[in-house]
Amino acid sequence: MDAYRGIPRKRLPAGARPDTLAVREGLPATPWGENAEALFLTSSFVHPDAATAAARFANEEEAFVYSRFGNPTVAMFERRLAAMEGTEACIATSSGMAAILIIVMSLLKGGDHVVCSQSVFGSTIRLFQDFAKFGIETSFVEQTDPGAWRDAMRPNTKLLFAETPSNPLTTVSDIAALAGIAHAGGALLCVDNCFCSPALQLPVRFGADLVMHSGTKYLDGQGRVVAGAVCGPRALIEQKFVPVMRSAGMCLSPFNAWVVLKGLETLAIRLRAQSERALQVARWLEQQPQVGRVWHPSLESHPQHALAMAQQDGSGGAVVSFELRAADADQARARAFALIDATEICSITANLGDTKTTITHPASTSHGRLTEAQRQAAGIGQGLIRVAVGLEDVQDIIADLQRGLPTS
């Protein structure tokens, strides 16, 4: 917001690197000269006189007017996240799901078609299915097979939506391949960058047009608030998304924006440390006879290991999933529940991206609303457990998982 008259922070040198931007990018300080970013808990902003108010409402003068469509704390979060993702602009939303909602409301209309991975977050699948009643149809395709995405393209396809790595199996989509398919068909590619965050993966480098976030996860990083964002080209955000935000109001509260903004400062060191711990947990799990498969992109056994390492800055992320061996689905579910219930440190919650390690049974929680057929398609068995590794001592996490491993 150029019209803002504060004491400028020192201007960042050109070419400041991501770790610097994560701490420094923002807006000028207020006349008080605060060092930490200010929290502007205000619903509206005051104008010096009626004529100025009129000019600001007519968009002839740039200023903060009302926090549904502009607030300095929210703007700082948007600027910082855009800088970290390498996009021109960003719009913050009240949640990750609201970010998907504003993408669809801003870019699509009845008669348009979407191609989406069948391995995305459960609520994402439900939301895209809900858009069918407004005449927006979605085809769900195999996450890892670009050919399936290409085959699903139609003349009216306007959006490709991928989440990589996926939740909970960490399967990886080839972002560059999907961007090529999208652009050849005149569509946009949006990547849900929740699992890697800009600390590990920059989807626009591989050709993605939009990057979507659940700020609830690693961006906050300490499990405190629900938040979301869409990063992309300035023209698209300003011309398509901002008008929807003004009228529909899925805005991020200034308080939540401030929490996530401060979370961005430690994002990279947290995620790198949590990813290292996750790999140690994954390697240990691979050695346990009671465990069938283990999913983590840094494992050589991961089906897209090489692609993941190239796309994710050599890092696997902090999520590990594993399948307990069992005779049938009922026994698998019982064993999974027993392991989860035996933990003394891990938090039993479907949330992730926290410094506290979380453990969940996807088939009965995050993916519980899906039909059995949809779960099968997504590869979510009853013996599957997802661990989102936090910052506790890794030996304590391993011991915690060992407690409930089946003894026979």
Ligand X SMILES: *Cc1c(COP(=O)(O)O)cnc(C)c1O
Residue in this structure with the two tokens 């994402």, named with its chain if needed: 124
Q: How far is the CB of 376 from ligand X (least distance, A)?
A: 20
Q: CB of 267: closest distance to ligand X in angstroms?
A: 15
Q: Between residues 206 and 218, which has the closer beta carbon with respect to ligand X?
A: 218
Nearest Cα neighbor of 349 from 368, 366, 324 is 366
Q: β-strands 319-324, 384-388: how paired?
A: antiparallel
Beta carbon nearer to ligand X, 124 or 382: 124
Answer yes or no: are the C-beta atoms of 159 and 134 closer than 8 Å.
no
Please state the closest distance from residue 200 (CB atom) to ligand X, in A.
14
- 306 vs 200: CA distance, rounded Å: 15
Amino acid occupying residue 48: P
Taking CB under 6 A as the binding criterion, the range among 51-59, 93-101, 275-283, 354-362 that sits at the site for ligand X is 93-101
Q: Is 167 in the site for ligand X (CB under 6 A)?
A: yes
Residues 179-198, one symbol each (x = binds ligand X by CB under 6 A, - = not), give: -------------x-x----
**Residue closer to ligand X, measured from CB, 83 or 260:** 260
Q: Count CA atoms within 13 Å of residue 128 on its CB side.
A: 21
Number of residues that bind ligand X (CB under 6 A): 14
What tokens appear for 79 in the block? 């600027």
Which residue of 25, 85, 112, 163 would you call a contact of ligand X, by CB under 6 A? 163
Binding of ligand X by 105 (CB under 6 A): no
Amino acid in the structure at residue 200: L
Q: How far is the CB of 93 from ligand X (least distance, A)?
A: 9
Residue (297 or 404) nearer to ligand X, CB: 297
Shortest approach of ligand X to residue 203 CB, angstroms?
13
Which residue in the set 97, 199, 268, 320 belongs to the binding site for ligand X (CB under 6 A)? 97
DSSP codes joined into one string, 210-265 = EEEEETTTTTT-SS----EEEEE-HHHIIIIIHHHHHHH--PPPHHHHHHHHHHHH
CB of 195 to ligand X, least distance (A): 6
Beta strands 291-295; 319-324: pairing state: antiparallel
Angle at 230 between CA 149 and CA 93, to 5 degrees: 130
Among 67, 71, 73, 95, binds ligand X (CB under 6 A): 95
Give the DSSP H/E element, type plus range, for residue 138: strand 137-141
Nearer to ligand X, 121 or 131 (CB): 121
CA distance linking residue 154 with residue 152, whole number of Å: 6
Q: Smallest distance from the beta carbon of 227 to ligand X, in angstroms?
A: 6
70, 72, 96, 254: residue in contact with ligand X (rule CB under 6 A): 96
Q: How far apart are CA 250 and CA 97, in angstroms?
A: 10
Residue-wise burial string across 297-320, b where 16 or more C-beta atoms lie within 10 A, e elsewhere: bbbeebebbebbbebbeebbbbbb
Nearer Cβ to ligand X (185/263) = 263
Q: How far is the CB of 266 from ligand X (least distance, A)?
A: 19
- CA 118-242-123 angle, to 5 degrees, is 25
317 binds ligand X (CB under 6 A): no
Q: What angle do CA 171, 388, 339 make, to 5 degrees?
A: 105
Binding mask 202-231 for ligand X (x = CB under 6 A): ------------x-xx--------x-x---
Instruction: Give the residue at shortest CB distance from ligand X.
Output: 96
CB of 163 to ligand X, least distance (A): 5
Q: Point out which residues bind ligand X (CB under 6 A).
A: 95-97, 121, 124, 163, 167, 192, 194, 214, 216-217, 226, 228
